Each structure stands twice: as C-alpha cells, then as structure tokens.
Amino acid sequence: MPVFERLMALLGLLMVGTGLRVTGVLDDNRAAQLNTLTYYVALPALIFISTYQRSISALLSPALLEGLVLVVVVTVGLAWLIHRNAATQYRSVALVQSYHSNLGYLGLPLVAATFEPRVTAIASVILGVVSLIQVPLTVLILTTMSGTDTRFLNELQRLITNPVLVSLLVGLAVGSTGLAVPSVVASGLDAIGTLALPLALLCVGSSLKVDLSAVDLSATGWVVALKNGCMPALAWGVFSLLTVNPATFTASVVMFGTPTAVSTFVYANELGGDEQFASLNVFITTLISTGTLFVLIRLVS
C-alpha cells in the first residue's frame, strides 16, 4: 500500500476509535479491555517476532545509543528554554509533551507496516531504550514542578516490569543465544503482531478528547513545533553526523517523528498536571503527525 494511503488509513482508524467512544460503543470498560489486549498481547508479540532472530550486538550499536540520548536531551533542553515562561498551569505538561513520543502505539506498529523487518527490529530497540529515558524523566518533571507527592519508585517498577520491555529483552536474549523458536509459535506470534497497529490506533483514537475553549495557542503551538518538527529534524541531523546504517537512520527518524504519547495525558492526570491541556496537545500533535510522518517516510524511503 502506498505511503499516503497507509497514513490515510491510519487517520481513518483514529477517527473510528474516536467515533466509537463518542457513540458509547467503546465505553471506559471496553476501551480498557482493548488497551489491555494491545499492550499485553499484540505489541509484545510484534516486538518479540521482530527481534528473536537477531542478536543485540546487531541492533544496538554505540552510535544508536549515543544518538538516542542526544536527541532526547537536546529536545528537553530546548523545551525547557521555550516553556520556562509559559503559564504555571501549563509549564510542566508543555515541557514533557514536547519530547515524550508515542513510540509504542504509533511508532513501532507504523514502522512494522511500512519498512523491512530489520528496520522494525531496530525500532523495537529504540522503543525500549527511549522508554527507559523518557518515562522516568516525565514522572520526575511532573512531580517536581507540580509538587505532587507520588510513588516515584513504584512508577519506575511499573516501567521495568512492563510487557513491552520484557518482550524486547526476551526477544534479544533468544536472538543472541540462538535458541530455536518452533515455526508454529513464530507464525502465531506474527499473526498476533499484525494486529498491533489497528488495535493501537483504535486505542489512541478512543482516548483523544479536545476542548477547544481551553486552547492556549502559544503553548500548544510550541509543543507542536518541538514534537512534530524539531525532534525529527534533530534526529535527522544527529544520525546523519553519526553515519549509522540506513536501517538505523530510518527507524530513528520515523520513531522520533511520532506525536506526543497518549500516556502523557495519563501522567498529567495522575501527577498534578493540567489534563485538559495535555489532552488537547495529544490530539493536535497526533492529527498533524499524519502529514509530517508522510513527509518523513517519503524522505527516508
């Protein structure tokens, strides 16, 4: 399927998810069940099947690790400078939503549906490495700037034991040790993994809520500029200078080109941030990403 048609299908599934929520088909209970199926079954299957035949040394190079850390750190620094004068109620959310990417529910499934298996395998590693950076950083920023008394260590424990990271570690362990996986198991996991993108898009769509009366054009505009524009451009520049292989370059640029993660709304709601503002930014960056991702995918292809 051509890139434009694939992204239009992506946007269509997002809108279907939103429509199902508005009409009550995806109520809170059903949405939670769909999210559980995606997070605990489909995404781990996709990650395992993309990594179990490859060793960690073939996927995680020093240049990749250096580039991932550099892109995140520089984006956080820019966001801090830009949002330091934002209204108090928006500042912490605007900061974290400028760098916290939707790597799991949009990035990895989109890469898997668009590029060859090696690119998907590297994207799985990027998901794991960047999650270990951006999730603790987001929790730390929100709790510090909002003054919320929260269970920071519990949040870290949830991160370390989440099924996405566990499936990545298991896949890399199998690939690095050369353990054989029965073909019937591999075929079954591959079939389940193909459900990751449509299920994830329905989950994201069902979570998108927007209150236009709450729009702060300046704060939201800077979030969009940093997340949809600056971060993938920075990734392009960094990984060009690091002279990584084409698969690593492609996976890195596309993954960093994803919109703000839906989980930032959850964190804002739990950790004292402005949840209306957070929801708006997720909606706007996701909508705009259908266009920016089209451009990025065409360029890297």
The predicted model gives 138-146 an average pLDDT of 80
The predicted model gives 185-206 an average pLDDT of 84
pLDDT for the residue numbered 157:
67
Q: What is the pLDDT of residues 74-112, one digit of tens each?
A: 999 999 999 888 777 688 899 999 999 999 888 998 898
Query: Please, what is the average pLDDT of the chain?
Result: 85
How far is the C-alpha of 255 from the C-alpha of 240, rounded, in Å? 15
Q: What is the pLDDT of residues 106-115, one digit of tens each?
A: 899 889 888 9
Band the pLDDT of 292: cuts 50, 70, 90.
very high
Bridge partner list, 101:
260
pLDDT for the residue numbered 214:
59
pLDDT for the residue numbered 54:
83
Place of tokens 């459900």: 195
pLDDT for the residue numbered 96:
94
pLDDT for the residue numbered 156:
64
pLDDT for the residue numbered 222:
93
Q: What is the pLDDT of residues 47-73, one digit of tens each?
A: 898 888 888 888 889 999 999 999 999
129: how many CB neighbours lie within 10 A of its CB? Answer: 19
Q: What is the pLDDT of residues 34-51, one digit of tens each?
A: 888 888 888 889 889 888
pLDDT for the residue numbered 197:
76
* Residue 10 predicted with pLDDT over 70: yes
What is the total count of domains within the chain?
A: 1
Band the pLDDT of 138: cuts 50, 70, 90.
confident
The predicted model gives 261-271 an average pLDDT of 79
- Angle formed at CA 184 by CA 181 and CA 190, multiple of 5 degrees: 85
pLDDT for the residue numbered 126:
94
pLDDT for the residue numbered 153:
61
* Residue 23 predicted with pLDDT over 80: yes
* Residue 5 predicted with pLDDT over 70: yes
pLDDT for the residue numbered 212:
62
* Residue 1 predicted with pLDDT over 60: no
* Residue 274 predicted with pLDDT over 60: yes
Q: The domain containing residue 64 runs over which residues?
A: 3-300
Higher pLDDT, 141 or 119: 119
Band the pLDDT of 219: cuts 50, 70, 90.
confident
pLDDT for the residue numbered 2:
66
What percent of the chain is predicted at pLDDT more than 90? 32
CATH number, domain of 50, equals 1.20.1530.20
